[in-house]
C-alpha cells in the first residue's frame, strides 16, 4: 500500500468544542484532492458527551478510577464512531479503503511532551473491517514537535489554486491559523481560544451546548475592561510554533463571572476574534489578502462579524462562501493524513508544529 495512488478515504474528527463527530470522504493520493464525497457532523449521544466532559483535561495516571473512566469512555466513543462509519457507508453507498481516525483530544500539553486522544484505532478497524490510521499527534510530540496543528498540509492542497497570500482559520475548541505565501511558504500555529470558551460559558450559565448562530452574543454588550484582561493571557505572547488544548484559558474565563449570560457570551466571542487578529498581526509574515474560516466558528455569524470588523482591509469569508463544506473540512483533513501515512509522507513540519524535521505520523492498523 506504499505506492502513491488515488484511494477513497474516510476521515473522522471529533470537535473539542463538543459540537459532535464529523465524517467526510475524499478521493486523494495524499498530495492532491481528486474528489469530495459526502460529509456531515453527528451530535454526541448525551451519555457519551457527559462521559467525555468528565474526563476532559484529566490523565490516566491520576488514579486507577480515572484510568478506568478514560478507558471506558474511549471504548464507548470508538463503538459510537464504528456505528457512524457503518451507517455512513451504507447510507451513501460508497467504498472506503482507509479511515483516518483523529480521535477526541482530552489533554494536550506540548511542554510536557504529552498528548492524549481517546479513540482506539485497532478496535475501530476490527469493528468496521477497514484499515485505520490513528494517533496522528503522537509521533510529532515524541519527535519534539507541539503535536498541532496538523491540518495545514491539507489546507495547502485545498487552496492550491487560490491567490496568495491567504490564511485558513479553523475555529474549533481552540483556533488554528495557517498562512500560505505567494512562493509556497507555509506557517501555522494554534493562536489561542476558540469555541470552547464560548460554549463552556453558555453551558455553565444557560444550559446550552453552544451559542447557536451567535444569538446570545449579538444581544449582549462586550465588557471592554474584561476583554483587555483576557487579552493579557500569557499564551498569546508566546512565539510560534505553539499549541495548546481547550483548557488553557479556563482560569482566565472566570473573569466573566458576574456578567449576564448575553454579555458573557459577547465578551467571550470578542476574545476569540480579538486574539485571532492579534496573532495575525504579530506572527504572520504578512497579512493575507483573504481569510477563509472553517470549523464551528464559521457557523457563528456574530463571531464572523467581529472578525470582519477587526480586519477591515482583509476579505474574510467562510469556507462555505468558497464552495467548501464547513462541516467537512476537519474530517477531510483526517482522511488526507491517513493517505499520506500509507504513502509515508509527512504531515507535520518545522514551520507548523516545530518538529525538527518533517514527520510521518499515525499508527496503521490493517485488516
Look at residue 1 and tell me if it is in a domain.
no
- Residue bearing cell 493562536: 191
Distance CA 231, CA 235 (A): 9
Instruction: State residue 134 phi and psi, 5-degree precision.
Output: -140, -175
What would the DSSP string read from start to end of 302-335? HHHHHHHHH-TTSEEEEHHHHT--TTTHHHHHHH
Residues 76 and 163 in one domain: no
Residues 164 and 299 in one domain: yes
Q: How many domains does the chain have?
A: 2
Instruction: State residue 217 phi and psi, 5-degree precision.
Output: -65, -35
Residues 330 and 276 in one domain: no
Radius of gyration of the chain (CA): 19
* pLDDT exceeds cutoff 50 at 268: yes
Residues 200 and 311 in one domain: yes
Look at residue 293 and tell me if it is in a domain.
yes
Q: What confidence score (pLDDT) does residue 1 get? A: 44
* pLDDT exceeds cutoff 70 at 165: yes
Do you know the residue count of the chain?
A: 367
Single pTM value for the model: 0.95
196 secondary structure, DSSP code: H
Distance CA 140, CA 150 (A): 9
Residues 217 and 186 in one domain: yes
Q: What confidence score (pLDDT) does residue 183 get? A: 95
Q: What confidence score (pLDDT) does residue 3 get? A: 56
Residues 16 and 102 in one domain: yes
Q: What confidence score (pLDDT) does residue 141 get? A: 97
End-to-end CA distance of the chain: 12
Residues 139 and 11 in one domain: yes
pLDDT digits (tens, 9 = 90+) for 269-288: 999 999 999 999 999 999 99
Look at residue 2 and tell me if it is in a domain.
no
The Cβ-side half-sphere exposure at 336, using a 13 Å CA radius, reads 24
Residues 291 and 351 in one domain: no
Mean pLDDT of 133-144: 97
CATH number of the domain residue 288 falls in: 3.30.420.40
Distance CA 8, CA 88 (A): 14
Mean pLDDT of 84-98: 98
Q: Helices (H), strands (E): how many in the chain?
A: 12, 13
- Maximum Cα–Cα distance across the chain: 59
Q: What confidence score (pLDDT) does residue 15 get? A: 87
Q: What confidence score (pLDDT) does residue 358 get? A: 98
Residues 257 and 344 in one domain: no
Amino acid at each position: 500500500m506504499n505506492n502513491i495512488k488515488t484511494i477513497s478515504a474516510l476521515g473522522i474528527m471529533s470537535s473539542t468544542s463538543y459540537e459532535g463527530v464529523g465524517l467526510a470522504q475524499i478521493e486523494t493520493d495524499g498530495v492532491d484532492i481528486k474528489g469530495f464525497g459526502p460529509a456531515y457532523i453527528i451530535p454526541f449521544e448525551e451519555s457519551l458527551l457527559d462521559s467525555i466532559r468528565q474526563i476532559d483535561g484529566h490523565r490516566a495516571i491520576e488514579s486507577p478510577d480515572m484510568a478506568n473512566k478514560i478507558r471506558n469512555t474511549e471504548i464507548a466513543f470508538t463503538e459510537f464512531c464504528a456505528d457512524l462509519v457503518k451507517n455512513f457507508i451504507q447510507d451513501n453507498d460508497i467504498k472506503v479503503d482507509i479511515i483516518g481516525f483523529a480521535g477526541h483530544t482530552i489533554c494536550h500539553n506540548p511542554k510536557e511532551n504529552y498528548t492524549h486522544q481517546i479513540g482506539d484505532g485497532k478496535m475501530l478497524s476490527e469493528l468496521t473491517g477497514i484499515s485505520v490510521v490513528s494517533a496522528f499527534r503522537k509521533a510529532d510530540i515524541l519527535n519534539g514537535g507541539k503535536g498541532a496543528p496538523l491540518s495545514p498540509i491539507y489546507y495547502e492542497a485545498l487552496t492550491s489554486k487560490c491567490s496568495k497570500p491567504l490564511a485558513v482559520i479553523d475555529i474549533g475548541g481552540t483556533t488554528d491559523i495557517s498562512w500560505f505565501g505567494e512562493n509556497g511558504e507555509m506557517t501555522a500555529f494554534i493562536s489561542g481560544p476558540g469555541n470552547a470558551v464560548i460554549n463552556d460559558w453558555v453551558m455553565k450559565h444557560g444550559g446550552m451546548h453552544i451559542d447557536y448562530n451567535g444569538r446570545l452574543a449579538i444581544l449582549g454588550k462586550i465588557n471592554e475592561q474584561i476583554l483587555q484582561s483576557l487579552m493579557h493571557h500569557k499564551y498569546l505572547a508566546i512565539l510560534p510554533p505553539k499549541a495548546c488544548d481547550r483548557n488553557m484559558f479556563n482560569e482566565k474565563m472566570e473573569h466573566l463571572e458576574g456578567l449576564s449570560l448575553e454579555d458573557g457570551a459577547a465578551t467571550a466571542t470578542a476574545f476569540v476574534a480579538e486574539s485571532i487578529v492579534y496573532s495575525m498581526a504579530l506572527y504572520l509574515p504578512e497579512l493575507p489578502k483573504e481569510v477563509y474560516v472553517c470549523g464551528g466558528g464559521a457557523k457563528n455569524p456574530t463571531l464572523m462579524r467581529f472578525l470582519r470588523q477587526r480586519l477591515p482591509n482583509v476579505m474574510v469569508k467562510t469556507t462555505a462562501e468558497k464552495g467548501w463544506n464547513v462541516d467537512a473540512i476537519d474530517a477531510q483533513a483526517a482522511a488526507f493524513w491517513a493517505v499520506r501515512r500509507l504513502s509515508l509522507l509527512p504531515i507535520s513540519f518545522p514551520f507548523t508544529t516545530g518538529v525538527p524535521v518533517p514527520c510521518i505520523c499515525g499508527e496503521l492498523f490493517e485488516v
